[in-house]
Protein backbone atom coordinates (compact mmCIF):
# COMPACT_ATOMS: atom_id res chain seq x y z
CA UNK A 1 0.00 0.00 0.00
CA UNK A 2 1.31 3.45 -0.90
CA UNK A 3 2.14 5.83 1.92
CA UNK A 4 0.40 9.18 1.97
CA UNK A 5 2.53 12.25 2.29
CA UNK A 6 1.54 15.74 3.30
CA UNK A 7 2.72 19.27 3.01
CA UNK A 8 2.82 21.56 6.00
CA UNK A 9 0.58 24.24 4.66
CA UNK A 10 -0.18 26.24 7.79
CA UNK A 11 1.37 26.72 11.20
CA UNK A 12 -0.43 28.42 14.08
CA UNK A 13 1.06 29.19 17.50
CA UNK A 14 -0.79 30.64 20.49
CA UNK A 15 1.41 31.50 23.44
CA UNK A 16 0.57 32.33 27.05
CA UNK A 17 -3.13 31.39 26.88
CA UNK A 18 -4.55 28.32 28.61
CA UNK A 19 -6.42 26.17 26.05
CA UNK A 20 -10.03 25.21 26.71
CA UNK A 21 -11.77 21.92 26.03
CA UNK A 22 -14.86 20.93 24.07
CA UNK A 23 -16.94 17.83 24.10
CA UNK A 24 -18.80 17.82 27.38
CA UNK A 25 -22.35 18.89 26.59
CA UNK A 26 -25.37 19.60 28.76
CA UNK A 27 -29.06 19.43 27.79
CA UNK A 28 -30.81 22.59 29.03
CA UNK A 29 -34.30 22.21 27.59
CA UNK A 30 -36.39 22.39 24.46
CA UNK A 31 -36.54 25.50 22.28
CA UNK A 32 -39.62 27.05 20.66
CA UNK A 33 -38.90 25.08 17.50
CA UNK A 34 -39.19 21.82 19.44
CA UNK A 35 -35.51 20.99 19.14
CA UNK A 36 -33.30 20.29 22.14
CA UNK A 37 -30.95 22.98 23.40
CA UNK A 38 -27.49 21.65 24.18
CA UNK A 39 -24.66 23.80 25.49
CA UNK A 40 -20.95 23.23 25.97
CA UNK A 41 -20.12 22.96 29.67
CA UNK A 42 -16.68 24.57 29.30
CA UNK A 43 -17.17 28.22 30.22
CA UNK A 44 -13.90 29.40 28.65
CA UNK A 45 -14.49 27.42 25.44
CA UNK A 46 -16.13 30.23 23.49
CA UNK A 47 -13.32 32.74 24.05
CA UNK A 48 -10.68 30.06 23.30
CA UNK A 49 -12.42 29.23 20.00
CA UNK A 50 -12.49 32.93 19.08
CA UNK A 51 -8.77 33.26 19.80
CA UNK A 52 -8.02 30.17 17.67
CA UNK A 53 -10.16 31.44 14.80
CA UNK A 54 -8.64 34.92 14.87
CA UNK A 55 -5.07 33.58 14.93
CA UNK A 56 -5.82 31.04 12.17
CA UNK A 57 -7.29 33.73 9.90
CA UNK A 58 -4.27 35.95 10.52
CA UNK A 59 -1.83 33.11 9.74
CA UNK A 60 -3.72 32.21 6.58
CA UNK A 61 -3.60 35.83 5.41
CA UNK A 62 0.13 36.02 6.12
CA UNK A 63 0.63 32.85 4.05
CA UNK A 64 -1.45 34.33 1.22
CA UNK A 65 -3.98 31.53 1.61
CA UNK A 66 -7.53 32.88 1.50
CA UNK A 67 -9.43 29.65 0.87
CA UNK A 68 -10.29 26.65 3.02
CA UNK A 69 -8.19 23.50 2.77
CA UNK A 70 -9.92 21.00 0.51
CA UNK A 71 -9.58 17.25 0.43
CA UNK A 72 -7.83 15.12 3.06
CA UNK A 73 -5.64 16.90 5.58
CA UNK A 74 -3.10 16.05 8.25
CA UNK A 75 -3.44 17.75 11.63
CA UNK A 76 -0.75 17.96 14.29
CA UNK A 77 -1.34 19.71 17.62
CA UNK A 78 1.06 20.11 20.54
CA UNK A 79 -0.36 21.45 23.79
CA UNK A 80 2.39 22.69 26.10
CA UNK A 81 1.41 23.30 29.72
CA UNK A 82 3.42 24.84 32.56
CA UNK A 83 4.85 22.58 35.21
CA UNK A 84 3.28 22.96 38.66
CA UNK A 85 5.47 24.53 41.36
CA UNK A 86 5.45 21.23 43.27
CA UNK A 87 7.68 19.75 40.51
CA UNK A 88 10.53 22.01 41.65
CA UNK A 89 12.80 22.30 44.66
CA UNK A 90 15.66 24.71 45.42
CA UNK A 91 17.95 22.82 43.03
CA UNK A 92 15.48 22.93 40.12
CA UNK A 93 13.30 20.18 38.72
CA UNK A 94 12.79 17.28 41.11
CA UNK A 95 14.09 13.90 39.94
CA UNK A 96 10.69 12.29 40.51
CA UNK A 97 8.77 14.98 38.58
CA UNK A 98 6.57 13.36 35.91
CA UNK A 99 7.83 13.36 32.34
CA UNK A 100 4.46 14.19 30.74
CA UNK A 101 1.24 15.76 32.09
CA UNK A 102 -1.37 13.11 32.91
CA UNK A 103 -3.71 15.58 34.58
CA UNK A 104 -6.80 17.36 33.30
CA UNK A 105 -7.77 18.50 30.79
CA UNK A 106 -7.73 15.36 28.71
CA UNK A 107 -6.09 15.49 25.32
CA UNK A 108 -9.07 14.38 23.22
CA UNK A 109 -11.25 17.23 24.51
CA UNK A 110 -8.51 19.78 23.84
CA UNK A 111 -8.18 18.44 20.28
CA UNK A 112 -11.95 18.52 19.77
CA UNK A 113 -12.01 22.23 20.69
CA UNK A 114 -9.37 22.98 18.04
CA UNK A 115 -11.14 20.88 15.41
CA UNK A 116 -14.47 22.59 16.09
CA UNK A 117 -12.95 26.09 16.15
CA UNK A 118 -11.09 25.70 12.86
CA UNK A 119 -14.02 24.20 10.93
CA UNK A 120 -15.12 26.72 8.27
CA UNK A 121 -12.00 28.78 9.07
CA UNK A 122 -9.14 26.52 7.92
CA UNK A 123 -11.03 23.49 6.54
CA UNK A 124 -14.64 22.96 5.52
CA UNK A 125 -15.43 20.05 7.81
CA UNK A 126 -13.40 18.20 10.43
CA UNK A 127 -14.18 14.92 8.66
CA UNK A 128 -11.42 16.00 6.23
CA UNK A 129 -8.87 15.18 8.94
CA UNK A 130 -7.52 11.82 7.79
CA UNK A 131 -4.24 11.83 9.66
CA UNK A 132 -3.55 13.29 13.07
CA UNK A 133 -0.89 13.43 15.72
CA UNK A 134 -1.44 15.14 19.06
CA UNK A 135 0.36 15.37 22.36
CA UNK A 136 0.36 17.17 25.67
CA UNK A 137 3.74 18.04 27.15
CA UNK A 138 5.33 20.14 29.86
CA UNK A 139 6.90 23.48 29.01
CA UNK A 140 10.63 24.09 28.96
CA UNK A 141 11.96 25.20 32.33
CA UNK A 142 13.01 28.57 30.93
CA UNK A 143 9.53 29.58 29.71
CA UNK A 144 7.09 27.45 31.75
CA UNK A 145 4.00 28.85 30.05
CA UNK A 146 1.10 27.63 27.92
CA UNK A 147 1.77 27.18 24.21
CA UNK A 148 -0.48 25.61 21.58
CA UNK A 149 1.10 24.73 18.22
CA UNK A 150 -1.06 23.61 15.31
CA UNK A 151 0.18 22.35 11.95
CA UNK A 152 -2.21 21.66 9.06
CA UNK A 153 -1.08 20.04 5.83
CA UNK A 154 -2.81 18.81 2.70
CA UNK A 155 -2.36 15.07 2.12
CA UNK A 156 -1.35 13.55 -1.24
CA UNK A 157 -0.01 10.25 -2.61
157 secondary structure, DSSP code: -
For the cut 60, the answer to whether the pLDDT of residue 1 exceeds it is: no
Residues β-bridged to residue 137:
80
For the cut 90, the answer to whether the pLDDT of residue 49 exceeds it is: yes
Integer distance in angstroms from the first to the last C-alpha of the chain? 11
CB 100 within 8 A of CB 138: yes
Where are the domains positioned within the chain? 5-156
Q: pTM for the complete prediction?
A: 0.85
> What is the arithmetic mean of pLDDT over 93-102?
94
Q: Return the CATH number of the domain spanning residue range 5-156.
A: 3.30.1330.70
Amino acid sequence: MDECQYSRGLGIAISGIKPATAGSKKFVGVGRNGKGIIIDTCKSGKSWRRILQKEAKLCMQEEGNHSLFSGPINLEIIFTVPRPKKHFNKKGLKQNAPLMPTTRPDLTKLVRAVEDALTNVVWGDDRQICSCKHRKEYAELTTNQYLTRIFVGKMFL
